[in-house]
Chain A
Amino acid sequence: MLHEDITYGAIFYGITIGIDDLGEELETLNTQVGQSKGLSLWVPGDTVYGDPYGDAIIGVMVRLVDSADGPTSFTLADIERAQKSFENARPALEKLAKENDHVAAVMDNTPQTYLTCCGPLSYASLAYGELWDSARKDEVEYTFHSCQDMDQEWHPQGVDGVTLGAVEYDDLHSVDLDEARLERLGDKGAKKQNPQLWICVRYD
Protein backbone atom coordinates (compact mmCIF):
# COMPACT_ATOMS: atom_id res chain seq x y z
CA MET A 1 0.00 0.00 0.00
CA LEU A 2 1.84 3.06 -1.28
CA HIS A 3 0.42 6.27 -2.75
CA GLU A 4 -3.08 5.42 -1.54
CA ASP A 5 -5.59 8.23 -1.83
CA ILE A 6 -8.20 6.33 0.18
CA THR A 7 -8.06 6.38 3.98
CA TYR A 8 -7.49 2.90 5.37
CA GLY A 9 -6.82 1.25 8.70
CA ALA A 10 -5.34 -2.19 8.96
CA ILE A 11 -4.01 -4.98 11.06
CA PHE A 12 -0.82 -6.07 9.36
CA TYR A 13 1.71 -8.73 10.33
CA GLY A 14 5.36 -8.54 9.35
CA ILE A 15 8.79 -7.00 9.86
CA THR A 16 9.50 -3.28 9.92
CA ILE A 17 11.86 -1.58 7.52
CA GLY A 18 13.06 2.01 7.86
CA ILE A 19 12.22 4.07 4.77
CA ASP A 20 13.56 7.50 5.72
CA ASP A 21 16.62 7.26 3.51
CA LEU A 22 15.22 5.20 0.68
CA GLY A 23 14.12 8.01 -1.61
CA GLU A 24 13.31 6.61 -5.02
CA GLU A 25 14.45 3.17 -3.90
CA LEU A 26 11.12 2.92 -2.08
CA GLU A 27 9.40 2.56 -5.46
CA THR A 28 11.81 -0.25 -6.33
CA LEU A 29 11.16 -1.92 -2.99
CA ASN A 30 7.42 -1.61 -3.53
CA THR A 31 7.72 -3.29 -6.93
CA GLN A 32 10.01 -6.03 -5.62
CA VAL A 33 7.76 -6.85 -2.66
CA GLY A 34 4.75 -6.84 -4.97
CA GLN A 35 6.46 -9.49 -7.07
CA SER A 36 7.28 -11.63 -4.02
CA LYS A 37 4.72 -14.35 -3.59
CA GLY A 38 2.59 -13.93 -0.49
CA LEU A 39 4.10 -10.61 0.65
CA SER A 40 2.93 -7.00 0.61
CA LEU A 41 4.51 -3.69 1.53
CA TRP A 42 2.58 -1.46 3.92
CA VAL A 43 3.65 2.17 4.04
CA PRO A 44 1.74 4.06 6.72
CA GLY A 45 0.74 7.70 6.52
CA ASP A 46 -0.22 9.97 3.67
CA THR A 47 2.06 9.12 0.75
CA VAL A 48 0.04 11.04 -1.85
CA TYR A 49 0.15 14.53 -0.37
CA GLY A 50 3.07 13.86 1.97
CA ASP A 51 6.47 12.16 1.82
CA PRO A 52 6.83 8.60 3.10
CA TYR A 53 8.95 8.40 6.24
CA GLY A 54 9.41 6.36 9.41
CA ASP A 55 8.92 2.61 9.21
CA ALA A 56 7.06 0.51 6.65
CA ILE A 57 6.19 -3.19 7.03
CA ILE A 58 6.90 -6.12 4.78
CA GLY A 59 4.44 -8.86 5.53
CA VAL A 60 0.89 -10.10 5.29
CA MET A 61 -2.42 -8.29 5.68
CA VAL A 62 -4.64 -9.51 8.51
CA ARG A 63 -7.54 -7.13 7.87
CA LEU A 64 -7.84 -4.02 5.67
CA VAL A 65 -10.58 -1.51 6.46
CA ASP A 66 -11.70 1.38 4.24
CA SER A 67 -12.90 4.46 6.11
CA ALA A 68 -16.31 3.90 4.47
CA ASP A 69 -16.58 0.36 5.85
CA GLY A 70 -17.66 1.04 9.41
CA PRO A 71 -16.49 -1.13 12.33
CA THR A 72 -14.76 -4.26 11.07
CA SER A 73 -14.06 -7.25 13.26
CA PHE A 74 -11.28 -9.78 13.23
CA THR A 75 -10.19 -12.66 15.42
CA LEU A 76 -7.06 -14.21 16.85
CA ALA A 77 -7.45 -16.92 14.20
CA ASP A 78 -7.07 -14.26 11.49
CA ILE A 79 -3.76 -13.21 13.04
CA GLU A 80 -2.62 -16.81 13.29
CA ARG A 81 -3.45 -17.35 9.61
CA ALA A 82 -1.39 -14.29 8.68
CA GLN A 83 1.51 -15.54 10.82
CA LYS A 84 1.39 -18.85 9.00
CA SER A 85 1.22 -17.13 5.60
CA PHE A 86 4.22 -15.02 6.55
CA GLU A 87 6.23 -18.09 7.48
CA ASN A 88 5.19 -19.73 4.20
CA ALA A 89 6.45 -16.64 2.39
CA ARG A 90 9.89 -16.84 4.06
CA PRO A 91 11.58 -18.21 0.92
CA ALA A 92 10.23 -15.24 -1.06
CA LEU A 93 11.46 -12.88 1.67
CA GLU A 94 14.92 -14.46 1.64
CA LYS A 95 15.03 -14.14 -2.14
CA LEU A 96 14.05 -10.49 -1.77
CA ALA A 97 16.84 -9.95 0.77
CA LYS A 98 19.35 -11.15 -1.82
CA GLU A 99 18.06 -8.62 -4.30
CA ASN A 100 17.71 -5.69 -1.93
CA ASP A 101 20.28 -4.66 0.70
CA HIS A 102 17.71 -2.69 2.68
CA VAL A 103 15.66 -5.83 3.13
CA ALA A 104 18.76 -7.88 3.96
CA ALA A 105 19.49 -5.42 6.78
CA VAL A 106 16.16 -6.04 8.52
CA MET A 107 15.89 -9.81 8.17
CA ASP A 108 16.60 -10.24 11.90
CA ASN A 109 13.69 -8.01 12.90
CA THR A 110 11.04 -9.91 14.81
CA PRO A 111 7.75 -10.10 12.94
CA GLN A 112 4.87 -8.57 14.86
CA THR A 113 1.23 -7.68 14.46
CA TYR A 114 0.62 -3.97 13.93
CA LEU A 115 -2.33 -1.62 14.01
CA THR A 116 -1.68 0.97 11.32
CA CYS A 117 -3.36 3.39 8.93
CA CYS A 118 -2.62 5.10 5.65
CA GLY A 119 -4.07 7.58 3.19
CA PRO A 120 -5.18 11.14 3.79
CA LEU A 121 -5.93 12.28 7.38
CA SER A 122 -5.93 8.71 8.59
CA TYR A 123 -6.78 7.48 12.06
CA ALA A 124 -7.61 3.97 13.28
CA SER A 125 -8.48 2.58 16.67
CA LEU A 126 -8.54 -0.97 17.92
CA ALA A 127 -11.34 -1.75 20.35
CA TYR A 128 -12.68 -4.78 22.17
CA GLY A 129 -16.41 -4.46 22.61
CA GLU A 130 -19.71 -4.47 20.77
CA LEU A 131 -21.32 -2.49 17.96
CA TRP A 132 -23.07 0.63 19.15
CA ASP A 133 -25.30 3.13 17.35
CA SER A 134 -23.45 6.36 16.69
CA ALA A 135 -26.58 8.32 17.54
CA ARG A 136 -26.35 6.96 21.10
CA LYS A 137 -22.67 7.73 21.59
CA ASP A 138 -23.34 9.67 24.78
CA GLU A 139 -24.88 6.60 26.42
CA VAL A 140 -21.88 4.27 26.07
CA GLU A 141 -20.73 2.12 28.96
CA TYR A 142 -17.07 2.30 28.00
CA THR A 143 -15.42 4.28 25.18
CA PHE A 144 -17.14 5.09 21.91
CA HIS A 145 -15.05 4.39 18.81
CA SER A 146 -16.49 6.21 15.82
CA CYS A 147 -15.96 5.57 12.12
CA GLN A 148 -15.85 8.49 9.70
CA ASP A 149 -15.75 8.30 5.90
CA MET A 150 -13.98 10.61 3.49
CA ASP A 151 -17.04 12.87 3.28
CA GLN A 152 -16.52 13.32 7.02
CA GLU A 153 -19.81 11.56 7.73
CA TRP A 154 -20.04 9.22 10.67
CA HIS A 155 -20.97 5.64 9.98
CA PRO A 156 -24.33 4.80 11.64
CA GLN A 157 -22.50 2.40 13.91
CA GLY A 158 -19.34 2.55 15.96
CA VAL A 159 -18.09 0.40 18.82
CA ASP A 160 -18.56 0.69 22.57
CA GLY A 161 -15.63 -1.00 24.21
CA VAL A 162 -12.21 -0.79 25.77
CA THR A 163 -9.28 0.58 23.81
CA LEU A 164 -6.28 -1.50 22.83
CA GLY A 165 -4.57 1.10 20.73
CA ALA A 166 -4.93 3.93 18.30
CA VAL A 167 -2.81 5.25 15.44
CA GLU A 168 -2.79 8.30 13.22
CA TYR A 169 -0.79 9.24 10.15
CA ASP A 170 2.41 7.16 10.05
CA ASP A 171 2.13 5.54 13.51
CA LEU A 172 2.70 1.82 13.91
CA HIS A 173 1.28 0.27 17.05
CA SER A 174 2.40 -3.26 17.79
CA VAL A 175 -0.39 -5.46 19.08
CA ASP A 176 0.33 -8.43 21.31
CA LEU A 177 -2.81 -10.52 21.53
CA ASP A 178 -3.49 -13.95 22.98
CA GLU A 179 -6.43 -15.74 24.58
CA ALA A 180 -5.40 -14.77 28.11
CA ARG A 181 -5.23 -11.11 27.21
CA LEU A 182 -8.60 -11.25 25.48
CA GLU A 183 -10.04 -12.67 28.69
CA ARG A 184 -8.66 -9.72 30.61
CA LEU A 185 -10.06 -7.34 28.02
CA GLY A 186 -13.38 -9.07 28.57
CA ASP A 187 -13.05 -8.35 32.29
CA LYS A 188 -12.43 -4.67 31.56
CA GLY A 189 -15.57 -4.52 29.43
CA ALA A 190 -17.50 -6.98 31.54
CA LYS A 191 -20.90 -5.49 30.72
CA LYS A 192 -20.51 -6.65 27.13
CA GLN A 193 -21.87 -10.14 26.52
CA ASN A 194 -20.36 -10.84 23.09
CA PRO A 195 -17.29 -8.66 22.71
CA GLN A 196 -15.11 -8.82 19.62
CA LEU A 197 -12.00 -7.13 18.28
CA TRP A 198 -12.89 -4.19 16.03
CA ILE A 199 -10.96 -1.81 13.80
CA CYS A 200 -12.57 1.62 13.49
CA VAL A 201 -11.18 3.96 10.83
CA ARG A 202 -11.64 7.69 10.55
CA TYR A 203 -10.81 10.23 7.87
CA ASP A 204 -10.09 12.82 10.49
Chain B
Amino acid sequence: MMDQSFGELRSQLHGSLETRKKREALLVLLLEHYEQAPDMFMSRWHPYISGLRIEWPEPFATVTSLEQVEHAGMLIPGARFRLSLGHLNEADFKPETLSRDERLRHVCGLVFDGLMLTPLGLSTILKSHHLGPLIELDLGHTRIGTLRPVLDSPKTHALKVLDLQGNAGGDLLLSEFPTHFPALEVLDLGSCYIEKEYAKQQLDGLKNLKHLYMD
Protein backbone atom coordinates (compact mmCIF):
# COMPACT_ATOMS: atom_id res chain seq x y z
CA MET B 1 0.00 0.00 0.00
CA MET B 2 2.80 2.40 1.00
CA ASP B 3 4.78 1.44 -2.09
CA GLN B 4 1.74 2.14 -4.19
CA SER B 5 1.42 5.59 -2.59
CA PHE B 6 5.12 6.25 -3.17
CA GLY B 7 4.64 5.29 -6.79
CA GLU B 8 1.79 7.75 -7.01
CA LEU B 9 3.97 10.42 -5.42
CA ARG B 10 6.74 9.85 -7.96
CA SER B 11 4.27 9.90 -10.80
CA GLN B 12 2.77 13.20 -9.62
CA LEU B 13 6.15 14.81 -8.99
CA HIS B 14 7.43 13.91 -12.41
CA GLY B 15 4.26 15.04 -14.16
CA SER B 16 3.22 18.60 -14.79
CA LEU B 17 2.24 20.62 -11.76
CA GLU B 18 1.16 23.61 -13.78
CA THR B 19 -2.55 23.24 -13.05
CA ARG B 20 -4.04 24.07 -9.69
CA LYS B 21 -5.91 20.75 -9.66
CA LYS B 22 -2.69 18.75 -9.96
CA ARG B 23 -0.95 20.74 -7.26
CA GLU B 24 -3.90 20.32 -4.92
CA ALA B 25 -3.94 16.57 -5.62
CA LEU B 26 -0.26 16.36 -4.70
CA LEU B 27 -0.77 18.34 -1.52
CA VAL B 28 -3.69 16.10 -0.52
CA LEU B 29 -1.56 13.00 -1.13
CA LEU B 30 1.22 14.39 1.04
CA LEU B 31 -1.15 15.46 3.80
CA GLU B 32 -2.83 12.07 3.87
CA HIS B 33 0.42 10.15 3.86
CA TYR B 34 1.95 12.29 6.57
CA GLU B 35 -1.13 11.79 8.73
CA GLN B 36 -1.09 8.02 8.24
CA ALA B 37 2.64 7.41 8.60
CA PRO B 38 4.61 10.45 9.78
CA ASP B 39 7.79 8.48 10.45
CA MET B 40 7.85 6.93 7.01
CA PHE B 41 7.07 10.31 5.47
CA MET B 42 10.06 11.91 7.20
CA SER B 43 12.45 9.02 6.50
CA ARG B 44 11.52 8.26 2.90
CA TRP B 45 9.22 10.78 1.25
CA HIS B 46 10.71 13.98 2.64
CA PRO B 47 14.31 13.26 1.56
CA TYR B 48 13.05 12.13 -1.83
CA ILE B 49 11.05 15.32 -2.39
CA SER B 50 13.89 17.53 -1.10
CA GLY B 51 16.42 15.75 -3.27
CA LEU B 52 14.55 16.48 -6.47
CA ARG B 53 15.14 20.22 -6.04
CA ILE B 54 12.02 21.03 -7.99
CA GLU B 55 11.28 24.63 -8.82
CA TRP B 56 7.68 24.67 -7.60
CA PRO B 57 5.07 26.79 -9.34
CA GLU B 58 4.22 29.80 -7.17
CA PRO B 59 1.99 30.07 -5.29
CA PHE B 60 1.77 26.31 -4.92
CA ALA B 61 -1.63 26.28 -3.20
CA THR B 62 -3.91 28.27 -0.91
CA VAL B 63 -3.81 27.98 2.88
CA THR B 64 -5.87 29.81 5.48
CA SER B 65 -3.57 30.04 8.49
CA LEU B 66 0.07 30.32 9.46
CA GLU B 67 -0.19 26.84 11.01
CA GLN B 68 -1.27 25.45 7.66
CA VAL B 69 1.44 27.27 5.77
CA GLU B 70 4.07 25.95 8.14
CA HIS B 71 2.79 22.40 7.73
CA ALA B 72 2.53 22.70 3.94
CA GLY B 73 6.01 24.23 3.85
CA MET B 74 7.36 21.25 5.74
CA LEU B 75 5.64 18.78 3.42
CA ILE B 76 6.87 20.48 0.26
CA PRO B 77 10.30 21.92 1.02
CA GLY B 78 11.02 25.07 -0.91
CA ALA B 79 7.44 25.69 -2.00
CA ARG B 80 5.68 28.96 -1.22
CA PHE B 81 1.96 29.45 -0.73
CA ARG B 82 -0.95 31.84 -0.93
CA LEU B 83 -2.13 32.83 2.56
CA SER B 84 -5.83 33.72 2.62
CA LEU B 85 -6.86 35.62 5.75
CA GLY B 86 -10.22 37.16 4.85
CA HIS B 87 -11.99 34.82 7.28
CA LEU B 88 -10.31 36.37 10.32
CA ASN B 89 -12.23 38.55 12.76
CA GLU B 90 -11.00 42.10 12.92
CA ALA B 91 -9.84 41.47 16.48
CA ASP B 92 -7.72 38.50 15.39
CA PHE B 93 -5.99 40.30 12.56
CA LYS B 94 -2.90 42.06 13.86
CA PRO B 95 -0.49 43.28 11.15
CA GLU B 96 2.32 43.83 13.65
CA THR B 97 2.07 40.27 14.97
CA LEU B 98 1.81 38.85 11.46
CA SER B 99 4.89 40.76 10.31
CA ARG B 100 6.97 39.23 13.10
CA ASP B 101 5.98 35.66 12.25
CA GLU B 102 8.81 33.76 10.62
CA ARG B 103 6.33 31.42 8.93
CA LEU B 104 5.78 34.22 6.41
CA ARG B 105 8.87 32.88 4.66
CA HIS B 106 6.60 30.24 3.10
CA VAL B 107 4.28 32.89 1.65
CA CYS B 108 4.33 34.48 -1.81
CA GLY B 109 0.66 35.42 -2.02
CA LEU B 110 -1.44 37.38 0.46
CA VAL B 111 -5.24 37.56 0.38
CA PHE B 112 -6.76 40.16 2.68
CA ASP B 113 -10.16 40.49 0.97
CA GLY B 114 -12.75 41.85 3.40
CA LEU B 115 -10.33 42.79 6.19
CA MET B 116 -10.04 46.40 7.22
CA LEU B 117 -6.42 47.19 6.43
CA THR B 118 -4.75 50.54 7.04
CA PRO B 119 -1.81 51.76 4.92
CA LEU B 120 0.35 51.54 8.05
CA GLY B 121 -0.74 47.96 8.72
CA LEU B 122 -0.02 46.94 5.14
CA SER B 123 3.33 48.72 5.19
CA THR B 124 4.25 46.88 8.39
CA ILE B 125 3.47 43.52 6.81
CA LEU B 126 5.35 44.30 3.61
CA LYS B 127 8.41 45.35 5.62
CA SER B 128 8.51 42.01 7.44
CA HIS B 129 12.01 40.50 7.34
CA HIS B 130 10.43 37.09 6.91
CA LEU B 131 8.37 37.93 3.85
CA GLY B 132 9.97 37.43 0.44
CA PRO B 133 8.89 38.77 -2.94
CA LEU B 134 5.16 38.54 -3.54
CA ILE B 135 3.60 37.04 -6.64
CA GLU B 136 -0.01 37.76 -5.69
CA LEU B 137 -1.65 40.42 -3.54
CA ASP B 138 -5.37 40.68 -2.88
CA LEU B 139 -6.52 43.90 -1.22
CA GLY B 140 -10.17 43.50 -2.23
CA HIS B 141 -12.73 45.30 -0.06
CA THR B 142 -10.03 46.39 2.40
CA ARG B 143 -10.72 50.14 2.09
CA ILE B 144 -6.97 50.54 1.97
CA GLY B 145 -7.35 54.11 0.75
CA THR B 146 -3.94 54.40 -0.89
CA LEU B 147 -1.61 51.98 -2.63
CA ARG B 148 1.46 53.95 -1.61
CA PRO B 149 2.78 51.20 0.72
CA VAL B 150 2.54 48.66 -2.10
CA LEU B 151 4.21 50.93 -4.61
CA ASP B 152 7.00 51.79 -2.18
CA SER B 153 7.78 48.17 -1.36
CA PRO B 154 10.51 46.34 -3.32
CA LYS B 155 8.70 43.09 -2.52
CA THR B 156 5.88 43.86 -4.94
CA HIS B 157 7.92 44.36 -8.12
CA ALA B 158 7.36 40.77 -9.20
CA LEU B 159 3.59 40.84 -8.65
CA LYS B 160 1.66 38.94 -11.28
CA VAL B 161 -1.80 39.26 -9.72
CA LEU B 162 -3.13 42.38 -7.98
CA ASP B 163 -6.74 42.34 -6.83
CA LEU B 164 -8.23 45.66 -5.75
CA GLN B 165 -11.93 44.81 -6.03
CA GLY B 166 -14.31 46.99 -4.09
CA ASN B 167 -11.88 49.82 -3.29
CA ALA B 168 -13.95 52.66 -4.69
CA GLY B 169 -12.69 56.17 -4.06
CA GLY B 170 -9.20 55.11 -3.05
CA ASP B 171 -5.97 56.66 -4.29
CA LEU B 172 -4.90 53.72 -6.43
CA LEU B 173 -2.13 55.61 -8.24
CA LEU B 174 -2.73 53.72 -11.48
CA SER B 175 -0.23 55.79 -13.44
CA GLU B 176 2.60 54.29 -11.37
CA PHE B 177 1.61 50.70 -12.08
CA PRO B 178 3.57 50.21 -15.32
CA THR B 179 6.83 51.20 -13.60
CA HIS B 180 6.27 49.32 -10.35
CA PHE B 181 4.55 46.18 -11.59
CA PRO B 182 6.28 45.26 -14.85
CA ALA B 183 5.31 41.59 -14.50
CA LEU B 184 1.62 42.20 -13.71
CA GLU B 185 -0.64 39.77 -15.59
CA VAL B 186 -3.98 40.11 -13.80
CA LEU B 187 -5.41 43.34 -12.41
CA ASP B 188 -8.84 43.31 -10.82
CA LEU B 189 -10.43 46.73 -10.49
CA GLY B 190 -13.99 45.40 -10.15
CA SER B 191 -16.35 47.68 -8.21
CA CYS B 192 -13.68 50.39 -8.00
CA TYR B 193 -15.84 52.58 -10.26
CA ILE B 194 -12.93 53.87 -12.31
CA GLU B 195 -13.71 55.15 -15.78
CA LYS B 196 -12.60 52.48 -18.26
CA GLU B 197 -10.86 54.66 -20.81
CA TYR B 198 -9.00 56.56 -18.11
CA ALA B 199 -7.79 53.32 -16.54
CA LYS B 200 -6.67 51.87 -19.85
CA GLN B 201 -4.74 55.03 -20.59
CA GLN B 202 -2.98 54.93 -17.22
CA LEU B 203 -2.17 51.24 -17.53
CA ASP B 204 -1.00 51.35 -21.12
CA GLY B 205 2.58 50.49 -20.19
CA LEU B 206 1.67 47.18 -18.52
CA LYS B 207 3.04 45.00 -21.30
CA ASN B 208 2.36 41.65 -19.61
CA LEU B 209 -1.22 42.40 -18.60
CA LYS B 210 -3.52 39.59 -19.76
CA HIS B 211 -6.70 40.24 -17.78
CA LEU B 212 -8.09 43.57 -16.64
CA TYR B 213 -11.37 43.34 -14.76
CA MET B 214 -13.31 46.58 -14.50
CA ASP B 215 -16.89 45.55 -13.82
Question: Using a CB–CB distance below 8 Å, which chain A residues touch chain B?
Answer: 112, 141-143, 162-165, 173-176, 178, 180-181, 183-184, 186-191
Contact = CB atoms under 8 A, between A and B. Distances in A.
B113 interface: yes
B215 A188 contact: no
Contact of B87 (A142, A164, A175, A184): A142
Contact of B86 (A173, A174, A188): A188
A181 B213 contact: yes
A188 B214 contact: no
Contacts of B190: 164-165, 176
Contacts of B140: 162, 188
B211 A180 contact: yes
A191 B87 contact: yes
A88 to B, nearest CB: 24
A61 to B, nearest CB: 19
B123 to A, nearest CB: 22
Interface string B53-67: 000000000111000
Contacts of A188: 84, 86, 111, 113-114, 138, 140, 163
B215 A174 contact: yes
13 contacts: A112-B215, A162-B140, A163-B166, A176-B214, A181-B188, A181-B213, A183-B20, A184-B138, A187-B84, A187-B111, A188-B140, A190-B111, A191-B84
A163 B214 contact: no
Query: Size class of B's contact patch?
Result: 20 to 34
B196 to A, nearest CB: 10
List 8 A-B pairs, minimum CB-CB distance, nearest first: A190-B84, A141-B87, A188-B113, A176-B215, A174-B215, A190-B62, A191-B87, A187-B62
Given A165-B215, A190-B84, A143 B114 contact: yes
B145 to A, nearest CB: 19
A145 B166 CA distance: 16
Which of B63, B140, B186: most chain A CB closer than 10 A?
B140
Interface in B95-113: 109, 111, 113
A141 B211 CA distance: 29
Interface in B118-147: 138, 140-141
B57 to A, nearest CB: 14
B24 to A, nearest CB: 11
B161 interface: yes
Which of A164, A178, A183, A184: most chain B CB closer than 10 A?
A184
A173 B190 CA distance: 10
Contacts of B84: 187-191
A193 B186 CA distance: 24
A191 B63 CA distance: 9
Contacts of B211: 178, 180-181
Given A188-B114, A189-B86, 14 more contacts: A141-B87, A162-B114, A162-B141, A165-B215, A176-B215, A180-B211, A183-B20, A184-B186, A186-B62, A188-B84, A188-B113, A188-B138, A190-B62, A191-B64
